[in-house]
Structure 1
């Protein structure tokens, strides 16, 4: 007999309380229901149901086995649903979260291309620099920087990013070009406030370098505007300044001194029943940013 079918019949017997009641639910004869249960008992070498002329009850082994059966059957159903979802056309609203700068510069163009591929999908993109709770806020996928805590989320590693030191040509025309990280002490360094100002800049293989300046801000776009205007030297993400460097609006400094890699991942809930819109989005992001 089919083992999964026998497990399903056994679960129905335990739920219904008798072979005859389970037979009606399963659309089988009471004899066939009994055969399924007996086949399981032969496989396991033990009784699952204690039967008398008046009543039946699960044995201790039967109670434990019932719990495992329900879990296995739920997993099988979830796997079948997921397979059907993957072959179905993605549709519905997908809620995505990213930081303001990364979301503006990288995720938004990415989503434009994703929406062209899947015209039945809508995307609700939430941009914020705080860490959101995916369950509480109904977010299905989020881009996260840094080392991730053990949160129970599924994390798909993406290509790491880097922070680069830069300044405008106008600023450099009036100040000496820094040749080493230590030279930054002589410059007006523009600081990003993340709780406290980030006044220590990290370079690979070197102790943190203390910097200072006359401008502190908690918004990446404002920091980028300030460095473009020639206010000072800034440490910004590669994706924030790539176009400015290519266009000559900014100059990358300390090119021979590397900064540590900035880990990036796409995270989503550990849900067995992944929708088509989410699974396609994960695949799309991995292809483009993995």
Structure 2
């Protein structure tokens, strides 16, 4: 349905007409609307002309509705009731967490970090429904209609609100069989390994490490580059090479010994940045469903980030 100017005028005039009937006079409706009597009369006249029917019988003593007026009045009351119901629902939405929350995250982060907390969140906020889209690409929040994007980045875009959720630790690791007992002492020794690149860069890549005040940038080469940390993990498990990934993507494998950390004394810089953020578009009033989800996620992820890694448990 197209809401042109004439239809909008009819809707407004219909509400004035309903108030005239409720008050029993043009002057009574005028007092409620803070309009002079003649202005109210002109609104009703305009409605009658646009509909091509007589709605009110006017006399010096009273007003009465015609048959057409009675039919329109019933419809007007229905419309006003629906409007009031919608206004009430919107008011409730602005006060309590409820409604559909559309969230996007990268595949590995969403599956390994976000999905595990969803059962408790949904139990705590049963009137919120979560639609989680796992996408290994950046999304346009406005164009694609998402409420939140959860992303690992060094510098969030300027046009969004960004709240840090958790620090991201990275690790270089490989399958024990791939190293064949070899122990690496320095990042430069990675030059002799097949280094699997996680991201969108060229096959000739640079990995950066920090140890105290010491910084080392190492050129590495490999035969695979892929924008999925889970694929890098699977290739490492298959003995294809060594990879640099976020620790959450390989935590289970490290604990089980299926992968081993290389260079545990060094801190590698990750491809996508040291922090996971919740990103949303600026808005005058943040919907409660967004606020409580971000707070809940931050609390849970901060707790998991503080859990010691295997190397921290056994220095």
TM-score (norm 2): 0.62
1:118 matched residue in structure 2: 125
Unaligned runs of 5+ in 1: 1-20, 31-80
- Deviations along 1:235-274, one digit per CA (max 9) or x if unpaired, are 1101101111111111111111112471221111111232
Question: Secondary structure at 1:179's aligned position in 2?
Answer: coil
Over residues 67-108 of structure 1, what are the superposed CA-to-partner deviations in whole Å (9 max), with x where a residue is unaligned? xxxxxxxxxxxxxx99965642x2221100111111111011
After TM superposition, the structure 1 = structure 2 runs for residues 46-195 of structure 1, keeping only pairs within 5 Å, are 85=93, 87-88=95-96, 90-172=97-179, 174=180, 176-195=182-201
Post-superposition Cα deviations, 1:26-80, rounded to whole Å, max 9, x if no partner, equal 76699xxxxxxxxxxxxxxxxxxxxxxxxxxxxxxxxxxxxxxxxxxxxxxxxxx
Q: What is the CA–CA distance in structure 1 between the aligned matches of 2:133 and 2:223, rounded to whole Å?
A: 32
Q: CA deviation at 1:217?
A: 2.6
Alpha-carbon distance change, 177 to 270 in structure 1, aligned in 2, over 3 angstroms: same
Counterpart selection for 1:257 from 263, 266, 279: 266
Based on CA coordinates, which of the two structures has the bigger radius of gyration? 2
Does residue 216 in structure 1 map to residue 222 in structure 2?
A: no
Matched residues in 1 for 2:31 and 2:138: separation?
48
Residues in 2 aligned to 1:180 and 1:159: alpha-carbon distance in whole angstroms: 28
| Alignment size in residue pairs | 217
Q: CA RMSD in A?
A: 2.7
**Aligned match for 2:296, one of 275, 284, 289:** 284
Task: Give distance in 2, aligned partners of 1:193 and 1:278.
Answer: 29
TM-aligned CA deviation for residue 197 of structure 1: 3.7
2:236 corresponding residue in structure 1: 227
Question: Partners of 1:250 and 1:171 in 2: how far apart?
Answer: 10
Corresponding residue number in structure 1 for 2:280: 268
CA distance in 1, matches of 2:227, 2:253: 21
Residues of 2 paired with 1:253 and 1:26: CA distance?
Answer: 77
Unaligned runs of at least 5 residues, structure 2: 1-26, 37-88, 303-315
Structure 1 CA distance, aligned partners of 2:164 and 2:198?
26
Alignment check: 8 A CA contact 2:173 2:243 kept? yes
Q: How far has the Cα of 1:24 moved from its partner?
A: 4.7
Shift in CA distance, 249/269, structure 1 to aligned 2, threshold 3 Å: same
Q: Distance in 1 between matches of 2:237 and 2:123?
A: 33
Q: CA deviation at 1:159?
A: 1.9
Counterparts of 1:199 and 1:26, CA distance in 2:
73
> Structure 2 CA distance, aligned partners of 1:271 and 1:177?
52
Q: 2:246 aligns with which of 230, 237, 240?
A: 237
CA distance in 2, matches of 1:95, 1:25: 45
Cα pair distance change 1:226/1:234, threshold 3 Å: same
Q: Provide the C-alpha distance between the structure 2 equivalents of 1:25 and 1:232, rounded to a whole number of angstroms.
A: 81
Displacement, 1:233? Answer: 0.9
1:152-190 per-position Cα deviation (integer Å, ceiling 9, x unaligned): 211111221021010112212x26222110111111211
SS at match of 1:144: strand
Cα distance in 1, alignment partners of residues 32 and 295 from structure 2:
39
SS at the partner of 2:100? Answer: strand
Tell me the CA shift for residue 118 of structure 1: 1.8
Q: Who is 2:305 aligned against?
A: none
